[in-house]
């Protein structure tokens, strides 16, 4: 839950994590997620208004995640927003939470001068965007199968590590002192050469784990090898995109952007290219309300809102571009 004023200044921001709830299951359970939203939303909203000494009547609009995401969680958030909005006849601002991750990368989008490319890399999404006139952006590429975060989660589960997989894999990989194991012998190729594909890496890693005895030496080795393969694939797509787009700025947000190896790799690459890298702060890498509020404010100021009674306002679980089906092959 977050409150910002019309200048974008933060009045209130609080994150309620569900990681401990889903850790038992090794991944997000939709029913558990939506029920947790129902339980925590009322108290978060009360805290926001109590701590800031404000009331809903002072709001000019309500920004809410419209998609993509889990339908139950989206419906819970939208229904709650509609309830408050209806009581005070406030406009709703539907926010794409994938795009909002990029908003967490900078304090002011106006500071970006020149062509900008944005990477959103998380548990559910891996997207590259071309940004020329914020908040308008164009999709360059995306994953054709699994997201980068899913590869981390699957790998962690195979190694007997905790959820979420990204931090667990990183922590285990830091213990490794052995040469890395190659997961693929050929370069991953997709129909759109800028698209991502992680399903092959997941399969290769699964086969490697099955034929390896897990112990205090091999588990860190496997974790480090998987982490390196994921980062290497991401860097390959970034390199091609930068060559094609020649951007002045690169924004990187989403939960996986917190990975230390990825951040180090992108810092080195950006410096080499003379490009300015904007990474989301670690505290804002995962899903958070502040990025929704900030992005929503800018959409509102651009005239993009839905007035009461919200007859055309409904959630979407996937972006239209996500349904593209492409054949993934390997290239020598």
What pLDDT is stored for residue 319 in this prediction?
55
With beta carbons less than 8 A apart as the criterion, state whether 54 and 3 touch.
yes
pLDDT score of 196: 96
Question: For the chain, which residues make up each domain, given as ranges?
Answer: 2-101+288-322, 112-284
Among the four given CATH numbers 1.10.3720.10, 3.40.190.10, 3.30.420.40, 3.40.50.300, the one describing domain 2-101+288-322 = 3.30.420.40
Token pair for 93: 């601002």
Q: Is 2-101+288-322's fold the same as 112-284's?
A: yes
How far apart CA 294 and CA 146 sit, in angstroms, is 28
Residue-level pLDDT, tens digit, the chain, 332 residues:
999 999 999 999 998 887 777 777 777 787 888 888 889 899 999 999 999 999 999 999 999 999 988 899 999 999 999 999 999 999 999 999 988 999 999 988 777 888 999 999 999 899 999 998 887 789 999 999 999 999 999 999 999 999 999 999 999 999 999 999 999 867 778 889 999 999 999 999 999 999 999 999 999 999 999 999 999 999 999 999 999 999 999 999 999 999 999 999 999 999 999 999 999 999 999 999 999 999 999 999 989 999 999 988 999 886 544 433 333 333 33
Q: What is the pTM of this model?
A: 0.89
Q: What is the pLDDT of residue 321?
A: 40
Which residues fall within 8 angstroms of residue 7, CB to CB, at 6 or more apart? none
What does the pLDDT read at residue 277? 98
- Which H, E and C letters describe 21-84, residue by residue? HHHCCCCCCHHHHHHHHHHHHHHHHHHHHHHHCCCHHHCCCEEEEEECCCHHHHHHHHHHHHHH
Prior bond of 216 cis (ω within 30°)? no
- Residues 258 and 231: beta-carbon distance below 8 Å: no
What pLDDT is attached to residue 55?
92
**Cis amide prior to 135 (ω within 30 degrees):** yes
- Residue 111: the pLDDT is 79
Q: What is the pLDDT of residue 328?
A: 34
| Superfamily the domain 112-284 falls into | ATPase, nucleotide binding domain (3.30.420.40)
d(CA 308, CA 224): 51
Q: Residue 210 and residue 197: Cα distance in Å, rounded?
A: 22
* Predicted local distance difference test score (pLDDT) of residue 330: 34
- The overall longest dimension of the chain from CA atoms, in Å, is 62
């Amino acid at each position: 839950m977050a409150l910002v004023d019309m200048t974008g200044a933060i009045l209130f921001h609080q994150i309620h994590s569900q990681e401990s709830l889903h850790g038992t299951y090794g991944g997000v359970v939709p029913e558990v997620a939506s029920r947790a939203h129902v339980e925590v939303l009322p108290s978060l909203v009360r805290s926001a208004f109590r701590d800031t000494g404000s009331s809903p009547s002072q709001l000019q609009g309500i920004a809410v995640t419209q998609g993509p995401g889990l339908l139950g969680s989206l419906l819970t958030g939208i229904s709650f927003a509609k309830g408050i909005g209806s009581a005070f006849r406030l406009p709703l601002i539907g926010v794409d939470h994938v795009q909002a991750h990029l908003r967490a990368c900078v304090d002011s989008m106006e500071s970006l001068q020149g062509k900008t490319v944005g990477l959103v890399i998380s548990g559910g999404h891996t997207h590259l965007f071309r940004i020329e006139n914020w908040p308008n952006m164009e999709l360059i590429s995306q994953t054709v199968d699994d997201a980068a975060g899913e590869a981390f989660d699957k790998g962690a589960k195979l190694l007997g590590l905790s959820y979420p997989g990204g931090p667990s894999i990183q922590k285990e990989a830091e213990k490794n002192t052995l040469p890395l194991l190659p997961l693929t012998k050929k370069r991953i190729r997709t129909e759109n050469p800028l698209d991502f594909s992680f399903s092959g890496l997941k399969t290769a890693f699964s086969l490697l784990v099955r034929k390896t005895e897990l112990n205090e030496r091999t588990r860190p080795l496997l974790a480090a090898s998987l982490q390196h393969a994921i980062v290497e694939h991401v860097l390959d797509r970034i390199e091609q995109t930068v060559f094609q787009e020649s951007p002045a700025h690169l924004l990187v947000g989403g939960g996986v952007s917190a990975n230390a190896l990825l951040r180090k790799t992108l810092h080195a690459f950006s410096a080499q290219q003379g490009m300015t890298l904007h990474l989301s702060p670690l505290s804002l890498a995962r899903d958070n309300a502040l990025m929704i509020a900030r992005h929503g404010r800018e959409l509102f100021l651009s005239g993009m809102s839905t007035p009461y009674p919200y007859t055309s306002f409904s959630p979407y679980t996937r972006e239209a571009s996500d349904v593209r089906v492409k054949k993934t092959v390997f290239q020598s």
